[in-house]
Amino acid sequence: MSTTGHLYDSSYIRHVDSPYSPDQVEIYLKKIGYDIPLRDITPNLETLRTLMVKHTIAFPMDNSDLHYTQEHHMPVTPQGLYQRMVIGTKGSYCFGLNGLFLGMLRGLGYRAYAGPGRVLVPARNPTPDQSFEYTSMSHLVIFVQPHPKPYERVTYLVDVGFGGTGPLRPILLAAGDVDEGERQVTTEGAFKGGWEWGTYPPERHRIVPGAFLNSSLETRPGSGHPPLRDWHMQVSHTPGPAGTKREWQTLYTFTDKIEYLQWDIDASSLSVSTIARGAIFQRTLVCLRRFLVELDEKYAGGEVLESEDVRSLFGTKEEGNLSWVGKWTLMGDRATKRVGGSVLEERVLKSDEERLEVMRDVFGIGVNVEDARWIVGRESELEAQEQAAP
């Protein structure tokens, strides 16, 4: 691997023109609730942190166009995303959520590019030796260099499109398992890999050097060990103070060695939404909306309960001032509201009309009850699922 926080060959990301005009960027900023004029925004790390949270709050993960439109198509072109998400009231999946964010970051003066990843999912035909497998290049991430000279090559992984257990904050492109008990250090001149807070304690994220399963490569003939040329994005929900041994789960594996351009995004999105390996999006309506919460906030449907070892994590002013989020998720016929590990509310939906009402009223997605006609006869239709149930 390269110098701490650098791309694999210490490349410099150049400024690239945004597909969005300054007026479109201004409208986007108003949409996400960032009330600072474009001319006054400094494209630095602190601004990037704020933009990530606001973007994920403003735009839901949403594949409804695959199910509740006549075209059954997810738009991922820059202007298609702008009309759907910024002017309209819909969300997208990773190609749209990260695609829109990449264009807006460039419009704000950030140096950034997109790269691909493979999601680790349960194997279709599991064996005792392998219970998981990778998808195709079905995920999109962003690499950003937000620091001025002399740290202009220090790079962060940014992902606003993975969904429920995905990261909420920029993660330094450095091994996060060197000192497991430490949070990453992003102070200029003192960069160090580590974990970063997720949506709500004890959730944490880190990246570690890794390789794809069943790689054809090995470090030397007969070693059986593939070179660690890529990165695993991992999440932990293990509670406990600094120094606690945590369990980590790999969500996806990505590479900074391939730049994804718009035609790559178009092709990958088409693959994910139409062929078998992307079947979850064909078979299932998936929506997720995040919302801001306070650490000890009580809700009408329940109470956020945290153990003492989790509460002990909130000891510093910096951690206390971070933004935390809960989430509403809709998977098939079930809508669930969660904060951390607490389920605050759960609804089982009986019809597509009821599901569309929840999408509109709870998730803020621009759909109407009349849109139910476009899902009739499809596998994702709730009535069809009930008839198929044993």
d(CA 39, CA 26): 10
Residue 62 reports pLDDT greater than 80: yes
d(CA 53, CA 325): 9
Give Cα separations from 46 to 23, 32, 145, 337 (angstroms): 23, 16, 12, 29
pLDDT in tens, 249-288: 999 999 999 999 999 999 999 988 887 544 678 788 999 9
Highest-pLDDT range among 124-133, 259-268, 372-381: 259-268
Which of 336, 352, 237, 338 is CA-nearest to residue 287?
A: 336
Residue 298 reports pLDDT greater than 50: no
Q: Residue 307 in contact with residue 298, Cβ under 8 Å?
A: no
d(CA 105, CA 101): 6
Percent over 70 (pLDDT), the chain: 88
In whole numbers, what is the pLDDT of the chain averaged over residues?
88
Instruction: Provide the pLDDT confidence category of residue 336 given band limits of 50, 70 and 90.
Output: very high
d(CA 288, CA 358): 12
Torsion, Cα 59 359 120 77, to 10 degrees, reads -50
Residue 387 reports pLDDT greater than 60: no
Instruction: Provide the pLDDT confidence category of residue 69 given band limits of 50, 70 and 90.
Output: very high
SS3 228: coil
Residue 310 reports pLDDT greater than 60: no
pLDDT in tens, 104-115: 999 999 999 999
Instruction: Provide the pLDDT confidence category of residue 315 given band limits of 50, 70 and 90.
Output: very low
Instruction: Provide the pLDDT confidence category of residue 204 given band limits of 50, 70 and 90.
Output: very high
CB neighbours (10 Å) of residue 49?
20
pLDDT in tens, 212-260: 888 899 999 999 899 999 999 999 988 766 667 788 999 999 999 999 9
Residue 318 identity: E
Q: What is the mean pLDDT of residues 122-141?
A: 88
Q: Residue 110 in contact with residue 91, Cβ under 8 Å?
A: no
Residue 360 identity: R
Token pair recorded at residue 307: 């153990």
> What is the per-residue DSSP string for 262-326?
HHHHHHHHHHHHHSGGGHHHHH--EEEEEEEE-TT-EETTEE----HHHHTT--SHHHHTS-EEE
Instruction: Provide the pLDDT confidence category of residue 129 given band limits of 50, 70 and 90.
Output: confident
- Would you identify the CATH topology of the domain 22-281? Arylamine N-acetyltransferase fold (3.30.2140)
Domain segments of the chain as ranges: 22-281
Rounded to two decimals, the pTM is 0.92
Instruction: Provide the pLDDT confidence category of residue 124 given band limits of 50, 70 and 90.
Output: confident
What strands, in cross-sheet order, belong to the sheet with 324-331?
61-62, 286-293, 324-331, 334-339, 342-348
Q: Residue 135 in contact with residue 118, Cβ under 8 Å?
A: yes
d(CA 39, CA 355): 42
CB neighbours (10 Å) of residue 386?
11
Give Cα separations from 145 to 5, 43, 45, 46, 84 (angstroms): 10, 10, 9, 12, 28
Q: Residue 378 in contact with residue 67, Cβ under 8 Å?
A: yes
Torsion, Cα 211 214 216 217, to 10 degrees, reads 30
Residue 17 reports pLDDT greater than 80: yes
Beta bridge partners of 134: 120
